[in-house]
């Protein structure tokens, strides 16, 4: 692919050494700013520490996690004692969902908003969105960064954006037809809800709606080749994992390009990335490295973070120049350390179960729930799994046995599978929670 097709060719084709030199320059300024203006980091950093000469010195600094941010917010509500700018510089406030604890208030300055949109636009362009596209954005606009902030990234890619949000699915389908929408931005589980409505209403086949591109984020599962292939066949559009990020770090820092199903790390001019092993040691970013992604802002005004634990376990799949022309390193997300559960000494991620489910034609809906009773560790996984549409009940025992075998072979864990009818589990426009935790 010629570099003329890149949105930011001067940055997206930099060699590793050039990227690192840029990061070192940005970090020198950022460190002075954070250490002077962030009360949280003045409290957390070792007494008497000087400025790291390079980013290698980060290894001497403590890690930050979401509990630190919650404590900082309680100490100085509503923005936390990790705010480093004057309050009058704050132009936008988002809030996390709070699904894993107390919600966080996320503040951004004008400069923060501009940088986030620029990098997000880079990611969307890499996934194939172009100025000729009309994209309907179907994420929640109610304070969540997936709404307004991701809307701005779509605009930064040059596309015409229809700010639809969630709900009123019938109107969405009509809007797609009326406005000749070419792309949709949503969670990967949302198309299943649209498919069901089209079936129930006797509407056209999904692929007849004319969409050419699906831009997805907010959930795991798109690394699964079977899941992607089913969606591509049903909808007739290109499936892109276009929106990997964390609200408190950078809403879109990774996306899939048109040449690979791996994610490009697009934010190296805003973040410094580390990959740490289970003991907290920094690992080299090279093909095959597996560990937790940790991010440091090197250009952030409102709520800058140092060595923030994403809790995402990633595998580096490539470095150097990609076939698309970009030189950013590539990765896959294996799962989250806080979603991981232990079955007889084996660490299991929901994404591994989803991969096993999606690999079986008899379970082609791909919908399931993991039932965990008590705090663990567990002897086996309790699974409720939907049968494929039209699969007779007489075939359910064989399908359950096949899935139990697939989970054992692919995830290394023992499962007990209960089959349930197609369309039993709810379809949502937002994130799907694959785990049901039950007190013992």
| Per-residue pLDDT in tens (0 to 9) along the chain, 440 residues | 455 589 999 999 999 999 999 999 999 999 999 999 999 999 988 776 666 657 998 998 999 999 999 999 999 999 999 999 999 999 999 998 655 557 899 999 999 999 999 999 999 999 999 999 999 999 989 888 999 999 999 999 999 999 999 888 999 999 999 999 999 999 888 998 899 899 988 889 999 999 999 999 877 677 778 888 889 999 999 999 999 999 999 999 999 999 988 999 999 999 999 999 988 999 999 999 999 999 999 999 999 999 999 989 999 999 999 999 999 999 999 877 667 777 876 778 787 788 888 888 878 667 889 988 877 778 888 999 999 888 999 999 999 999 999 998 888 888 999 999 988 887 765 566 778 887 76
Instruction: Spell out the alpha helix ranges (H) of 157-217.
Output: 169-178, 190-201
What's the rounded Cα separation, in Å, for the pair 38 and 43? 9
Q: Which two tokens stand for residue 388?
A: 């494929």
Q: Which two tokens stand for residue 348?
A: 């299991």
Reported pTM: 0.81
What's the rounded Cα separation, in Å, for the pair 213 and 254? 17
Spatial neighbors of 410 by CB under 8 A, at least 6 apart, are 352, 355, 356, 359
Are 140 and 164 in contact by the 8 Å Cβ rule? The answer is: no
Instruction: Name residue, tokens 């989803």.
Output: 354
Per-residue pLDDT, 272: 98
Per-residue pLDDT, 102: 79
SS3 state of residue 53: coil
Per-residue pLDDT, 366: 74
Q: Which domains can be identified in the chain, with CATH numbers?
A: 1-335 (3.40.50.12780), 341-438 (3.30.300.30)
Please give the full DSSP string across 334-346, using - where no structure is assigned.
Answer: EEETTT-EEETTE
Are 26 and 298 in contact by the 8 Å Cβ rule? The answer is: yes
Per-residue pLDDT, 51: 65
What's the rounded Cα separation, in Å, for the pair 115 and 271? 11
Dihedral angle sign, alpha carbons of residues 77, 82, 88, 90: negative
Per-residue pLDDT, 247: 92
Per-residue pLDDT, 398: 93
Query: How far from 279 is each of 25, 62, 119, 328, CA to CA, in Å?
Result: 29, 13, 31, 27
Are 101 and 66 in contact by the 8 Å Cβ rule? The answer is: yes
What's the rounded Cα separation, in Å, for the pair 215 and 258? 12
Residue (of 154, 143, 352, 116) closest to 242 by Cα position? 154
Per-residue pLDDT, 375: 74
Per-residue pLDDT, 49: 67
């Amino acid at each position: 692919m010629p570099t003329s097709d890149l949105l930011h060719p001067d940055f997206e084709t930099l060699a590793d050494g050039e990227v690192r030199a840029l990061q070192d320059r940005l970090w020198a300024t950022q460190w002075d700013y954070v250490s002077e203006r962030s009360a949280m980091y003045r409290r957390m950093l070792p007494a008497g520490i000087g400025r790291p000469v390079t980013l290698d010195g980060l290894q001497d600094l403590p890690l930050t996690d979401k509990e630190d941010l919650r404590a900082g917010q309680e100490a100085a509500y509503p923005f936390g004692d990790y705010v480093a700018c004057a309050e009058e510089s704050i132009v936008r406030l988002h809030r996390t969902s709070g699904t894993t604890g107390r919600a966080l208030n996320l503040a951004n300055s004008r400069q923060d908003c501009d940088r986030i949109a620029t990098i997000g636009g880079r990611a969307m362009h890499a996934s194939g969105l172009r100025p000729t596209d009309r994209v309907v954005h179907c994420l929640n606009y109610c304070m969540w960064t997936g709404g307004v902030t991701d809307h701005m990234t779509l605009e930064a890619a040059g596309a015409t954006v229809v700010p639809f949000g969630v709900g009123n699915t019938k109107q969405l389908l009509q809007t797609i037809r009326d406005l000749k929408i070419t792309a949709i931005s949503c969670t990967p589980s949302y198309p299943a809800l649209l498919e069901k409505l089209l079936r129930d209403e006797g509407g056209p086949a999904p692929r007849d709606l004319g969409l050419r591109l699906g831009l997805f984020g907010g959930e795991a599962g798109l690394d699964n080749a079977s899941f992607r292939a089913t969606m591509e066949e049903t909808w007739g559009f290109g499936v892109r994992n276009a929106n990997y990020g964390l609200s408190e770090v950078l809403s879109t820092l990774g996306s899939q390009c048109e040449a690979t199903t791996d994610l490009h790390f697009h934010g190296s001019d805003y973040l410094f990335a580390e990959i740490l092993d289970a003991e907290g040691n920094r690992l080299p970013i090279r093909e095959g490295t597996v560990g937790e992604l940790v991010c440091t802002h090197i250009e952030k005004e409102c709520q800058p973070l140092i060595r923030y634990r994403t809790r995402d376990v990633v595998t580096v799949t490539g470095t150097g120049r990609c076939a698309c022309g970009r030189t950013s390193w590539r990765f896959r997300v294996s799962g989250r350390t806080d979603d991981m559960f232990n079955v007889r000494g084996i660490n299991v991620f929901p994404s591994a179960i989803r991969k096993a489910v999606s690999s079986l034609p008899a379970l082609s809906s791909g919908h399931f729930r993991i039932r965990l009773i008590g705090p663990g560790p567990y002897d086996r996984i309790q699974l409720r799994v939907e049968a494929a549409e039209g699969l007779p009940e007489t075939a359910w025992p064989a399908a359950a046995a096949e899935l139990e075998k697939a989970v054992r072979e692919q995830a290394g864990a023992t499962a007990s599978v209960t089959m349930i009818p197609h369309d039993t589990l709810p379809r949502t426009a937002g994130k799907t929670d694959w785990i049901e935790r039950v007190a013992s």
